[in-house]
Amino acid sequence: MKIQEADAKSLLVAQGLPVPGWEVARTPAEARAAAERIFATGADSVVIKALVLVGGRGKAGGVKLAADADHAERTAELILDMDIKGITVRKVLVAAAADIIKEYYLAAVLDRDSRRILLMGSSEGGVEIEHVAATNPDAIVTLHAHPYLGLLDHQARSFAFRMGLGEHWREAAAIAKGLVATMRANDADLVEINPLGIVRERGADGTTVDRLVCLDAKITLDDSALVRHPGHEALRDLDEDDPTDRQARGADISFIKLDGTIGCMVNGAGLAMTTMDLVKRAGGEPANFLDIGGGARADKVATAMRLILSDPKVSAILVNIFGGITRGDEVARGLIEARRVQARDVPMVVRIVGTNADEAGRLLEEANFETAGTLDEAAEKAVAASRRGAA
C-alpha cells in the first residue's frame, strides 16, 4: 500500500527524522489559509505540491512555488483538479519553500534476495534513481542493514561519507538510521527520500545555517503486515483506491491485476503462481493473480469472477481449484451461478481436483463448461480459447 507524502512524512517524524513542517489543503481557500500561517512565521515563499501516489509530480507541473498568499491560492487552484498520470489531484501539501543548496537521494528498500534492508544513496538527488542507475551507476552507493540490529553506527557513518555527505555526516548518519528504523517500525517495503536536501536557513539576525532535511517522502507499506498496524488502515487514500482492489479486499480475495488476457481463479497463493507460470509456458499471458483462499464458497467465486471480468482485456478464464477445505462442488455451483448472472461471457476452462471433484465434474458438464484433468491441459485449453476469441 502506497501512502501519500504527508502521511509518509508523519511516519518519518515519529522516528525523529528532520522534516520541515507542512499542511494539507483540499481547496484553494484552505491552501491560502495555510500559506498565510506559513508566511506569518517569516517564510519568503511557500511550495505547493500535488498529493498523488505517483512519482515525478515536479516534472508534471504538480510542484510549484508561490511568493504570497494570493499567488498560493491561484497556484493551488491550478494544481487541484490537475490530471497527473491519470490521477486527479484532490489535495495539496503546503510548506515553507526550502532554499535548497544540494539535492541527494536516500532510500531504504526491502532486498528480497538477501532478506535484508538495503540502503541506497546518491549525491545525484532530485532526479529519478532509475535514471541515475542507467546513466551513472557509480553514483549510487548501497549498504545492507544488520538483519537483527538495524543500521549500526559505524555502518551509518561510513555510508554518510560514501554518499559525499562528510560535512553533514552526523545528520546524514542519523537520517540513514532513521530510515531503517522507519522500515522496521512500520513493516514498510520502501522508504524513499528524494530529495534529501541541504537547505539554507536564515536566522532573524541574518546568519545562515545549512541543514540536511527530508524534502519529499515516499513510503510503501507491506500489505500483508497491515494487520500488525491497526492505525495504518487510516492511511489508505480512498481518493485513489481502485474499486477493484476495494472489492477484492472486502471479499478477502488476494487479487493483483496484470497485463495479459487470461484471467486466473485459483485457491492458494502457491498454486496461483504455478498456474500463471503454466499459462506463460503454454504461450499465454496471465491477466491477474487471484487467490480465492481456503474454503471459498459460491458467493466468493462469483465475486472473483466479477473481479476478473472487470478487466476488458480478459478473453478467457482458467479456473484451477485444488479441493481440500474448499469443496469442488461448491466452487462449481459458484461458477455456474456467476456465469448465469454475468454480463460478459468469455470461454472458461475449469480444473477441479480433490474434495468432491466428481460431483463438481458432473455439475460442470451439465452446464456445458470446458473442463481439464491436468493443469497443463487446462493452461493449453485456456490459451487456445483466448486465441479463438481474439481471432
Q: Mind telling me the catalytic residues?
A: 105, 192
Which residue's beta carbon is nearest to the bound Mn ion?
216
Distance of closest approach, residue 195 Cβ to ligand GDP, in angstroms: 5
Contacts of 94 (CB under 8 A, 6+ apart): 22, 23, 24, 25, 31, 34, 35, 38, 46, 47, 48, 49, 72, 76
Dihedral angle computed from the Cα positions of residues 278, 281, 282 and 288, in that order, rounded to the nearest 10 degrees: 50
Q: What is the rounded distance in angstroms from the CA atom of residue 347 to the CA atom of residue 286?
A: 15
- Give the single-character DSSP code of 364: H
Terminal-residue alpha carbon distance, the chain: 38
330 binds, among ligand GDP, Mn ion, none (CB under 5 to 8 A by kind): none
Indicate the residue type of 293.
G
Estimate the crossing angle of helix 357-366 against helix 328-341, to 10 degrees.
Answer: 20
Nearer to Mn ion, 132 or 331 (CB): 132
Output 57 or 257, the one with its CB closest to ligand GDP.
Answer: 57
Q: Which stretch binds Mn ion (CB under 5 A): 1-9, 148-156, 157-165, 194-202?
A: 194-202
Among positions 216, 291, 329, 330, the unique one binding Mn ion when judged by CB under 5 A: 216
CA distance 383 to 365: 20
**Of 8 and 378, which has the nearer Cβ to Mn ion?**
8
Closer residue to ligand GDP in complex, CB, 214/262 = 214
Who's near 41: CB < 8 A, 6+ residues apart?
A: 96
122 binds Mn ion (CB under 5 A): no
Nearer to Mn ion by Cβ, of 5 and 291: the residue is 5
Q: Minimum distance from CB of 286 to ligand GDP (Å)?
A: 31
Grid coordinates given for 223: 500489505
**Residue 352 · residue 321 · CB < 8 Å:** yes
Reading the block at residue 281, the C-alpha cell is 509456458
For the bound state, the minimum distance from the C-beta of residue 216 to Mn ion, rounded and expressed in Å, comes to 4
Tell me how far apart the alpha carbons of residues 276 and 282 are, in angstroms, rounded to a whole number.
Answer: 10
Per-residue binding letters, 261-280, with Mn ion (x by CB under 5 A): --------------------
Residue 194 binds to Mn ion (criterion: CB under 5 A): yes
Applying CB under 6 A, the residues found at the interface with ligand GDP are 47, 49, 55-58, 63, 97-98, 100, 103, 126, 194-195, 215-216
Work out what residue 126 binds among ligand GDP, Mn ion, none; the CB cut-off runs from 5 to 8 Å by kind. Answer: ligand GDP
Q: Out of ligand GDP, Mn ion, none, which partner does residue 18 contact, by CB within 5 to 8 A per kind?
A: none
Please give the residue ranges that form the binding site for Mn ion (CB under 5 A).
194, 216
